[in-house]
Amino acid sequence: MPKPEEVKYAKTHEWFHPGGEAAVGISDHAQHEMGDVVFVELPKVGQKLEKEKPCAVVESVKSAFDIYAPVSGEVTAVNEAVTSDPALLNQSPLENGWIFKMKPSDPGEAASLMDWNAYQEFLKQASH
């Protein structure tokens, strides 16, 4: 399980863990803001992803949220467990609640994502 400090963050609150098979999910802040997650529309394995383009949908009781690809690439695996138990996104956003894994096409793209400190600063700015 990656620690919150070990992953990179997009401005749209996805996390991206570049280690091994790169995994993508939503940040703890995002799950908190969404509230109870009740449905996840996963991407398809093999689906081509374009950085910052919507590729999945997370539905909470109150609203739907698009999930944007943090970097470009191709989906290599999806987390079927969140289909039957969407609350995993709330309970364990960085571990059991991962959404999909991917093979990035341009390793350089991840550089534009924020590290933990930058993300904390970003959240602070956004709340003002």
Partner 1 sequence: MSTETTLRRTALNETMRKYGGKMVDFHGWELPIQFAGILKEHEAVRASAGIFDVSHMGQVFVTGADAFKLLQLTNANDLRKATPGKGVYSHVTNEKAGLVDEIIAFCLAADRYLVIVNAATSTKDYEWFKAQSARMLVKIENRSEDFSMVAVQGPKVPLMFEQFAPEALKLPRFGIVEKDLFGEHCYVSRTGYTGEDGFEVTAPHSVIDRVWEKMMELGKPYGIVPCGLGARDTLRLESGYLLYGQDVDDEHTTYEANYGWVVSLDKGDFIGREVLAAQKQGGVGRKLTGLTLTGGVPRPGCKVFKDGAHAGDLASATYSPTLKKGIGVGYLVPPDLKPGTALEVEIHGRRVKAEVSRVPFHKGTAFSKDLYTGK
Positions that interact with partner 1 (CB under 8 A): 35-36, 38-39, 41, 57, 59-64
Q: In angstroms, give the least distance from the CB of 13 to partner 1.
A: 17
Is 24 in contact with 99 (CB distance < 8 Å)?
A: yes
Closer by beta carbon to partner 1, 39 or else 50 = 39
DSSP letter at 114 equals B
Is 109 in contact with 102 (CB distance < 8 Å)?
A: no
Alpha helices by DSSP H, 52-112: 81-84, 88-91
Q: In angstroms, give the least distance from the CB of 52 to partner 1.
A: 18
Closer by beta carbon to partner 1, 9 or else 65 = 65
